[in-house]
Structure formats: structure tokens, C-alpha cells
Amino acid sequence: MTSRPSEAVSRFTAETERFRRELLAHCYRMAGSAHDAEDLVQDTYLRAWRSYAGFEDRASIRSWLYKIATNVCLTALEPRRNRVLPSGLTGPYGGPDRRPTPVAPGEVSWLEPLPDAWIAPPSDEPSAVVIARESLRLALIAGLQHLPARQRAILILREVLAFSAAETAEILGTTTAAVKSGLQRARARLDEVAPDREDLLEPTDQRARALLEGYIAAFERSDAGLLEQVLRTDATLEATPFGDWQSGREMCIHVLDAFVLGTAGDWRMIATTANAQPAAAVYHRDAAGVLRADGAVVLAPTSAGISRVVKFHDPGLVATFGFPQVFPN
């Protein structure tokens, strides 16, 4: 007697749904976009359901899902440009004083942040798998996007997810020798594009919270002096969709003070977390005096101050983080 469709659906859900958060993190590492990752996970589950009847426990359910997800990602990424941050395009700007100008629409595919809430374990699942937070840090995700997609997959499967060389070869339909050589090339390339692996403070660390609060206060009060207190001397500042980015606290503060801060009350922010880092949903006052969604900012906090500020000028990100489009009174 065959199982009824409803029983098959229930069994499939029970066996696969617990992996959804880690698969979302995996697809995000591959694609560099939270929204793309969400679509890729949906496609993964659709394909898994279609082939579930023939699965027959020939491998672990987790390995099977990762095989589907990885190949879904590789197929989707093949015709696309890699997502980048401004610092991945050129060196810091050091020319004549000028207002930052955006890159032409469609010319660059920009990296997107991942809200921590999307991969947080449910409160009623104390035994849920804890996703390696350092593997989602913004600098690492930006570095991964410089790798060819298959090398990226090999490095993630081997070094983030701890699959063996043989398991990785099976997932990718290749040989263990190819996996080992691909991993070696991926490590070398990642060292070139992201050589400095900073020891960042956790968002829950009191020092990290204080740095985020200070950064938010600087904008809301239009106080460049507060920025000097929270930014490290070697801090960097970049923002999508602008090609120029700044290096050094003095240059960062100059650009923000001259072109961004405006007057007290022009900006409001709501603290949150993204990529296992302190972050904020950002609102800016429009010509009518309404504080409307402007984007999100992600900070890299260290014991010596904020080392990196990345602002994403995309109003839609505010809703992605679960906040309203107009600042709540």
C-alpha cells in the first residue's frame, strides 16, 4: 500500500524543514543576496520534493539537500555577475573633494546584507543547529564573491560546512582530486582579496552596542565629533551604489560631515543585526518632512572602535529587516 499524498508531504516536511535556515545561509554565501538566497532555497525545496520519492535514504537527508541547493546555486549563478561592494571595484578615493556619485543603474550587481533574524533559531528549538556566525560576516561574503562559483562552493562545503573531500566531490559530481585542487586555489584567491580577518566583537557585546549607539547618535544629532569617538583611525567607509569609498577616519568623517549628515533630525535609525554584526535600519527626512526608509548600515566593531562602515542605499531593505517604510512615531 502506498502512502497517501498528505502523509508523504508531512514526512517530507518533517525530514527537511529543520535544514531550511542553514540552507538559506548556504545560498546567501553563494549568491551574496538575501533575496536571491530566499528564491534559491524555495527552488531547492521544490526540486527536493519532486525527487523525494526516489531518495530512499541513499545518503543523509542533509547531504542530499545540500547537493540540490549547491547545484541550484551554481546553475543560477552561471549567467550572473558576481555581487560586490565598492571596495571590490577599486582602491579608496583620494582625489579632489567631491560629492559621491552613484554608479549607473545595472552597471554593477551589489552585495546585500543578510538580516540575522532570517537565520535565527526558533525560540522553542533549543537543540537547533547553530549557524557559524563568522562565516556570514560581510567581509568574508564580499571576499567569497571574487571566487569562481565552483571554487566558492568547494571552499564553503569544505571549510564552513565541514563536508569531507569525498562528500564534496559527490555533491558537485566531481573527483576528490578536483576538490582538493579547487580548495587550494580558492584559499589562495581568498587570501588575495580578503587577507585581513579581523576579530570582530559580537553584536551582543556591550562594547559593540556602545559603538552602534554612538554611530546612530552621531547621525541623529548631526554631530561629526561623535564619529571621531567611535571610528577607528584606519576606518573605511563605503556605500552602495557609489563607486567611491574612503579610507582613514579623517577622510570618512570629512565626507560624512560635508555631504551626508545634514542637520539634526534629518536621520533616524533603528538598531538591529545583520551578518552577525551590529546594524541599523536607516530613515531620512524627505522634502515634506517625513522620515522615510533609506536603507541599512552594517558596522564592523572591534575593541579599538568601528573598523568598517558599509551603507546600503536601498529603501526596500528596511522592510527586509521587518521595519515600516515610514519611521514610527
Q: What is the pLDDT of residue 1?
A: 40
| Architecture of the structural domain at 82-146+194-329 | Roll (3.10)
Q: What is the pLDDT of residue 58?
A: 64
In the predicted model, residues of the chain with pLDDT beneath 70 are 1-5, 56-59, 122-130, 195-196
Q: What is the pLDDT of residue 125?
A: 58
User: pTM surpassing 0.85?
Assistant: yes
Q: What is the pLDDT of residue 114?
A: 98
Long-range contacts of range 165-172, CB-CB < 8 Å, 24 or more positions apart?
167/63, 170/59, 170/63, 170/67, 171/63, 171/66, 171/67, 171/70, 171/71, 172/70, 172/71
Q: What is the pLDDT of residue 328?
A: 87
Q: What is the pLDDT of residue 80?
A: 83
Q: What is the pLDDT of residue 199?
A: 87
Crossing angle between the packed helical segments 165-172 and 176-193, to the nearest 10 degrees: 100
Q: What is the pLDDT of residue 57?
A: 65
Taking the domains of the chain in order of start, what are their residue ranges?
82-146+194-329
What is the grid cell recorded at 121?
533559531
Question: Before 315, cis peptide (omega within 30)?
Answer: no
Give dist(CA 217, CA 223) in Å, integer. 8
